[in-house]
Amino acid sequence: MKVNLKVIHWLPRIICMLAILFISIFAFDVFNPEKTILQQTGDFLMHLIPSFVLIIFLIIAWKWEFIGGIIFTLLGLGFSPLIFLHNYNMNQSIWMSLLIVLIVTLPFVFAGILFILSHRMKKKNLSSSTKNE
């Protein structure tokens, strides 16, 4: 089965953008009518810092797929225990905590692997096209 290089090129980028948007949704819980607009805006921007960092990582991955793939894979795997422990302490449910870990970190691990795969496929195509000349 031949996988289209364009699909492997765009799929990790799309997954990352959607995952970053998903993470960004959690910043909206800072809005509170008891706070001033200035306080709410500051809190909102503070809660978006992880999204801004993820966007920087996506820019790196966009330019250097292999490095970006490693970053996203390690990021997803590295934050999994922290997210699990945080959620387990809140809800005392192993299964709910595992589900949350899968929802939050799995897209980044999957995108990281796809970035690395895309890099390797492009490298392979480049070397095979130079051999054919």
Listed as own residue / partner, the contacts of 78-83 with beta carbons closer than 8 Å and 24 or more positions apart are 79/104, 79/105, 80/105
CA dihedral (56, 61, 69, 55) positive or negative: positive
Residue matched to tokens 């809190």: 43
Amino acid occupying residue 128: S
- What domain range includes position 63? 5-131
Query: Per the structure, how many domains does the chain have?
Result: 1
pTM score, whole prediction: 0.86
Q: What is the dihedral of CA 128, 67, 63, 110, to 10 degrees?
A: 90
Model pLDDT, residue 43: 93
Model pLDDT, residue 32: 86
**pLDDT in 10s for each residue of the chain, 133 residues:** 567 889 999 999 999 999 999 999 999 999 888 999 999 999 999 999 999 999 999 999 999 999 999 999 999 999 999 999 999 999 999 999 999 999 999 999 999 999 999 999 999 887 776 665 5
Model pLDDT, residue 1: 52
Query: What is the spatial distance between Cα 95 and Cα 111, in angstroms, rounded to a whole number?
Result: 24
